[in-house]
Chain A
Amino acid sequence: MSEPSSIRYHDLRHVTGQSTLIDIDNGAVESAGTSFFNRAILRVLGSHGWGILQIDNFSPCSKKKFNSLLASASRLAAVTRQDVDLSEATYHALGVPPMQEDPRDVSIEEKTSLLSEIEQAARHPDIVNRRANYIERSEHILFSDSSGHEFSYEICRSGFNVLAVASRNGTVQMGYERVHSVSGFDLRHQQEYGEKAAKVAIALLDAGNAKGGRMRAVLDPELAGVFAHEAVGHASEGDLVQEGSSILAGRIGERIGNDRLSIVDDPSIPEFGFEPFDAEGVAVKRTEIIRNGVVNAFLHSRETLAAVGHGIAGHARAMAAEPPLVRMSNTYIENGDSTLEEMMELCKNGILLKGSRGGQVDPGRGIFQFNAEYGFLIEEGECTRMVRDVSLSGEILSTLHGILLCGNDRSMHPGYCGKGGQSVPVSDGAPHILLENAMVGGSGVD
């Protein structure tokens, strides 16, 4: 069987590997084992749109068999009517960041023992539950396309989470810490995270509820990073812009924040969202989404760049055997020149929000929401009472103007981002920021 003539382009992304998970719950090793995966995706661009085959347990096959797969995908593509074009792109594979210690060289027995030390560090009379998880995923990715590009890489992401639950007189609160990276094994000498989770959970037992309303807010680097991700990152994704689901569509060149504000997505830096090349084989590079307060570029795949423009391809990402979607990788607010002390002083009365329990955005409506792990009231420029269960919401176009100051202490924080049923590793970061007129949600009343 020969390759069907209606095919304009095709690519194959084959992901194999193994994952190791360890779960320790209140001192008991619930599980500590390894599983295996093998999934592939074959995409064919027909006369109009895509025909896609997702295949579990794929193995490289003969030319004849491969052509029959192309024919199957081509028949699927025949039902599409949207005219899809692909932009030109640059192809280049970055090297995977070196690991100081390869997690695959450490026995699972030792990993379990080290994780147990972190879990045990959360012990305290007020702590009723301690849980620690280790997650290690080692992937081999092989990409090839009909233009003759062929790349492969192997990457190992690993890290841990630790949860501590405190309880007293019917009140239950939690502290949660996580460390994940692409830079190698990071489970040694990390008991401080167990201790911190316990300390936060216990402190939250005595915290009050925040009173909701509009106020000045100082966001710590972790939460300000989630703010960048939710409030700007998603709305800059080219597929949402293309389909009319982003409030940033048509706003290239428009000022939406003050001139201190620059927001960047960069898959090429060695943080948790690193990719040597994207899910279409395209070279990855830094994109300045907001430059000095002005909408500068969108994030793109080859398809969305051809349809929308303004930016570069190289931002397509995918889980194993899932179709590439335009996604963020390492997203951050650039450093400014303010100190935390200056922010607290300017804030005067408001709230300091710390840590993240995640967030969500409706990019078409331009509304976002995210939740802090905890906060402190700021009164006369000083941190006072601790508050819990405090969230922040806002409208993308008006909230960014409210960033009064950006600090000079940016740090990155790992996490996972969900879109279209796919979850990919990302990192978010920022310095401390001071936000005016922030919409703070909390159930407290005067």
Chain B
Amino acid sequence: MRWWVAVAWIDQLLREGARRVDEVEVFFAKGIAVSADLKRKNINIATRSDECGLGIRTIDKGRIGSSSTHNPKKWKECLNAAIASGKLATPQRWDGLPEPVARDHEEICHDPLLTVDPETATGLLGQMLEGASQHPVQVTSGSATLSVGTDIIVNSCSVRYTSRHTGVSISLESIKDQSTGTEFAQSCFMDIDPFAVGERAAFLASHSSGGQEIPSGDYDVLLSPLAYTELLGAAFIPALNGRNVHVGRSLLAKKSGESIMDSRLSMYDDPFRQKGLGSTFWDAEGMPTKRIDFVRDGVLLSFAYDLRTAYRYGKESTASAIRGGGSAGTAIGHHNFIIDGPRTGVADERVIYVNGVVGAHTANPMSGDFSVELSNAFWMEDGEFQAPIRSAMLAGNVFAMHKDIGGISDEMRQIGSMILPSIRLQGQRVIGK
């Protein structure tokens, strides 16, 4: 059965909705995922997930309503709930859902060669274990997941977009004595290197063993893309959210046009990035996506907007609406958030390399202040890992730490919807023993 025949009920839904409210938007996602999990070195669980979600949004005289369900056969109940919720919402300025825009409907997050079966997942785990065997560690757990799915966005203004996507994600955890090491990789394509992931997880555990204490003081710190992602996601990214900016939850609200960080740094969202995990031609509201320059050469230029926020505050949508699946609502986010700038040798001079942090989510999302425990921290010099650091805390501010940086690395890494280099920070407060 062709896809559009299988979802003919969506046309019925649109007709029924259009009869009762000004506009209707439907988001429908369906997919399959298969995963295999390791308990130590053996697979103990193999899982198949059949996922299905329907989200409906209605707009009537500026009142926005929404609902969702896992059962598309109950779309009438869901539509009724969406319309009822709209009646309670405070009305706002609303200038309409988007109309369709011609785009190359090339699928940028779909790999036809990616097979979703337990044997492929098992093979990935085997290669990770082989990589891990390069170091004397105990593997504690691991996972490999393969997925394929289709999302559709349809609205009463004739938008009718369909996109297929595939995904592979793997992870491995290991331990040596009391030192742990975790590594992972994700891609829309079957282009990941499971051996390297296993080897890195084992290296981190093995090389962190026997760490020494360091005295409290101010040190130069090199945050890996992982540690950097955790801190940015907890406290910096929310400050670029247009809604937070206009309702008083962003420290950057009144700094548009000002220099807010080192002039060597730029931050942008590139929704068309080749092999980007968040690459897409339209956002979760069907708006055609485009590059957004949040910060260029240290100067704050733009914030992220969805339609609702843009209409309310007289701005333009930056096509930054995202959804976490059919049954999740829309929110302001980004597609591929990238940090860029001139590259330097960030590890030539002695520095504390920080692979990860414990407790990034406890950062203060308003002020940007954080104090976190370091995870897999080492001294590094001439680009080489040296002695491991047993434990220490890093206390700082996610806005202030960008003011005068020591540089960013050549290598970039994609972690979820962020693509970041390592960043060298100068004179950061480290609390040791």
Contacts and interface: CB of A to CB of B under 8 A. Distances in A.
A28 B46 contact: no
A57 B70 CA distance: 5
B429 A129 contact: no
A441 B371 contact: yes
B359 A370 contact: yes
Contacts of B175: 244-245, 364
Contacts of B118: 75-76, 79
Contacts of A81: 42-43
A167 B51 CA distance: 43
B249 to A, nearest CB: 5
A443 B371 contact: yes
Interface string B352-373: 0000001101111111011111
Interface string A265-291: 000000000000000000000000000
A79 B121 CA distance: 10
Contacts of B70: 36-39, 56-57
Interface stretch (B3-11, B84-92, B102-110, B339-347): B84-92
B45 A50 contact: yes
A18 to B, nearest CB: 9
A33 interface: yes
Contact of B68 (A36, A112, A243, A395): A36
A31 B141 contact: no
B216 A213 contact: yes
Given A38-B69, A364-B175, A391-B362, A212 B367 contact: no
A370 to B, nearest CB: 7
Given A32-B89, A79-B118, A54 B48 contact: yes
Contact of A370 (B73, B362, B369, B431): B362
A389 B371 contact: yes
A58 to B, nearest CB: 9
A139 to B, nearest CB: 13
B64 interface: yes
A365 interface: yes
B49 interface: yes
B85 A34 contact: yes
Interface string A382-394: 0000001111010
A124 to B, nearest CB: 12
Contacts of A57: 52, 70-73
A36 B69 contact: yes
Interface string A23-63: 00111111111111111000000001111111111000000
A93 interface: no
Nearest to A83: B42
Contacts of A53: 47-50
Given A365-B179, A391-B362, A76 B47 contact: yes
A315 to B, nearest CB: 17
Given A57-B71, A72-B48, A245-B140, A80 B42 contact: yes
A357 interface: yes
Most chain-B Cβ atoms within 10 A of its Cβ — which of A26, A57, A321, A358?
A57
Interface string A334-372: 000000000000000000000001111110111111110
Contacts of B84: 33-34, 108
B283 interface: no
Contacts of A26: 247-248
B269 interface: no
Given A36-B67, A82-B39, A129-B248, A52 B366 contact: no
Q: Is the interface of A mostly helix, strand, loop or mixed?
A: strand
Contacts of B68: 35-36
Contact of A212 (B47, B52, B89, B431): B431
B259 interface: no
Given A129-B249, A358-B361, A245 B180 contact: yes
B53 A369 contact: no
Contact of B358 (A55, A170, A393): A393
Interface size class, chain B: 35 or more
Most chain-A Cβ atoms within 10 A of its Cβ — which of B53, B67, B92, B362?
B362
Interface in B360-402: 361-367, 369-373, 375, 391, 393, 395-397
Interface string B24-48: 0000000000101001101111111
Contact of B375 (A28, A76, A165, A362): A362
Contact of B67 (A34, A75, A390): A34
Contacts of A82: 39-40, 42-44
Interface in A57-91: 57, 72-73, 75-77, 79-82, 84
B20 interface: no
Given A25-B247, A443-B429, A30 B89 contact: yes
A247 interface: yes
Contact of A54 (B49, B66, B86, B370): B49
B178 interface: yes
B355 to A, nearest CB: 12
A395 B211 CA distance: 14
B119 interface: yes
A213 B178 CA distance: 23
Contacts of A402: none
Nearest to A172: B366
Contacts of A30: 89-90
B309 to A, nearest CB: 10
A77 B122 CA distance: 12
Contacts of B371: 212, 371, 389-391, 441-443
B46 A80 contact: yes
B58 to A, nearest CB: 10
A360 B361 contact: yes
Interface string B107-149: 0000000000011011000000000000000101100000000
Nearest to A360: B359
A389 B370 contact: yes
A306 interface: no
B362 A243 contact: no
Nearest to A18: B81
B45 A323 contact: yes
Contacts of B396: 443
A33 B366 contact: no
A33 B36 contact: no
B99 interface: no
B78 interface: yes
A100 B362 CA distance: 34
22 contacts: A35-B66, A48-B44, A54-B47, A55-B49, A76-B48, A165-B248, A167-B248, A172-B366, A212-B216, A357-B364, A365-B375, A366-B178, A367-B358, A367-B373, A369-B393, A371-B362, A388-B367, A389-B370, A393-B393, A441-B393, A441-B395, A445-B429
The 6 closest A-B pairs by CB, nearest first: A33-B85, A441-B371, A128-B248, A371-B362, A82-B44, A369-B359
